[in-house]
Amino acid sequence: MSTLGDYLRQADIPPRHANAVLADDDRGQAWRDKTRGLIARLGQGGIVCLHGSRGGGKTQMAAQMAKAMCRREAQQPDGGHRFPALYVRAMEIYMDIKATYTRDAGETEAEVVSRYCRPLLLIIDEAHEKPDSAWAMSLLTLIVDKRYAQGNKDTVIVANAKTAQEMAALVGPSIASRAVETGGMVDCGVWGSFRG
């Protein structure tokens, strides 16, 4: 049986974001209220796109969601799901897939995709940093769509996109449509930057 500490280590949340404390003012309160609302919806198979300019607390929001999912599963009598949450940058997914092209690769492309479909909550950060190719867009769509089809897997996509329209263009029409249906486009720019 896994402990909360095991789940949090496995989730690979960057310490800077996992331990961040935002300002105790109206902006910070708006951020906390939105975060609590998203946490309450975990487990419903939602796709949430967190967008906005840099410094709006997008990654911290996603980290809080991952921590909540890990806590929830650790409290289950049977120890919960073996893989509650995973944080990854989009470029790391692409690099993992490209690593399968070598002769001595330890995984196939299908196994890498399957690995990213395993967690109950998958956070894909820095989604704006991706190869400019149809292949990259198709790969992201495949992973998110397979998770969506399972019905109980939540996916959070984080990107520096100022508007919902920019975010939709970045993730593509299939993901954007499913996000609107199941989780939504969350504008983390409305409370401004927490970086000064």
Q: What is the pLDDT of residues 25-68, one digit of tens each?
A: 787 889 899 999 999 999 999 999 999 988 889 999 999 999 99
In a domain, 194, yes or no: no
SS3 state of residue 14: coil
Does the pLDDT at position 131 exceed 80? no
Distance from C-alpha of 84 to C-alpha of 79, rounded to nearest angstrom: 10
In a domain, 121, yes or no: yes
- Least confident segment among 27-41, 91-105, 127-141: 127-141
- CATH, residue 169: 3.40.50.300
- Say if residues 155 and 184 touch (Cβ distance below 8 Å): no
Kind and range of the H or E run holding 86? strand 85-89
Distance from C-alpha of 86 to C-alpha of 176, rounded to nearest angstrom: 21
112 by Cβ neighbours in 10 Å (0-12 / 13-18 / 19+) ranks as buried
In a domain, 107, yes or no: yes
In a domain, 60, yes or no: yes
| Structural domains in the chain (count) | 1
First CA to last CA distance, the chain: 43
Does the pLDDT at position 71 exceed 70? yes
Take residue 177 and report the two structure tokens written for it: 């449509």
- Least confident segment among 14-18, 109-113, 159-163: 14-18
In a domain, 195, yes or no: no
Q: Which structural domain range is residue 43 located in? A: 4-187
Kind and range of the H or E run holding 34? helix 26-40
In a domain, 136, yes or no: yes
In a domain, 32, yes or no: yes
pLDDT band per the 50, 70, 90 thresholds, residue 97: confident
Distance from C-alpha of 146 to C-alpha of 167, rounded to nearest angstrom: 20
Distance from C-alpha of 61 to C-alpha of 109, rounded to nearest angstrom: 30
Whole-model pTM: value is 0.93
pLDDT, one tens digit per residue, over 75-84 is 888 766 789 9
Distance from C-alpha of 120 to C-alpha of 122, rounded to nearest angstrom: 7
In a domain, 196, yes or no: no
